[in-house]
Amino acid sequence: MDFSFIKLPKGIQIRKPYQSELDYFLKNKNVGGMATQDNKVILNPYAKLKPEEFQSVAANESARLIMKQDESMRPDFALTPEQIGFLDSTTYKQANQLDRNATIAARILSGDPSAGKPTQEQLDFVEKLKQQMYSD
């Protein structure tokens, strides 16, 4: 699948998934993409997503990479009880606090409703993150 229509923040690159990643995606068609260990974004060619949904996945995964790479962009905010409950029902249950916060921040940024109702502190952080990602 050609993902050349995807717009990524400066410094972030998309790459084709390796065979092991394609095998994972084939078994997990509900996963739209991921940020990789080599600091790239990969998208699931087997996912049945519209172009704008793939763009949201790419924004989400790019945000995770930015937060990982730039210490000034580490999310340090409180989660709401709703967000904690949501994360505790996912594979993020055992994740460290930084990864849990980054998950919520990336989901807010990409418009994913699973992030729950964001707090003002979270919205302020995500606005700062957007500026970092998309300013020249």
The reply to whether the predicted model has a pTM over 0.85 is yes
The string of pLDDT tens digits covering residues 46-103 is: 999 999 999 999 999 999 999 999 999 999 999 999 999 999 999 899 999 999 999 9
Domain ranges of the chain: 19-134
**What is the rounded CA–CA span in Å between residue 87 and residue 81?**
10
- Position 67 scores a pLDDT of 96
**What is the rounded CA–CA span in Å between residue 16 and residue 3?**
9
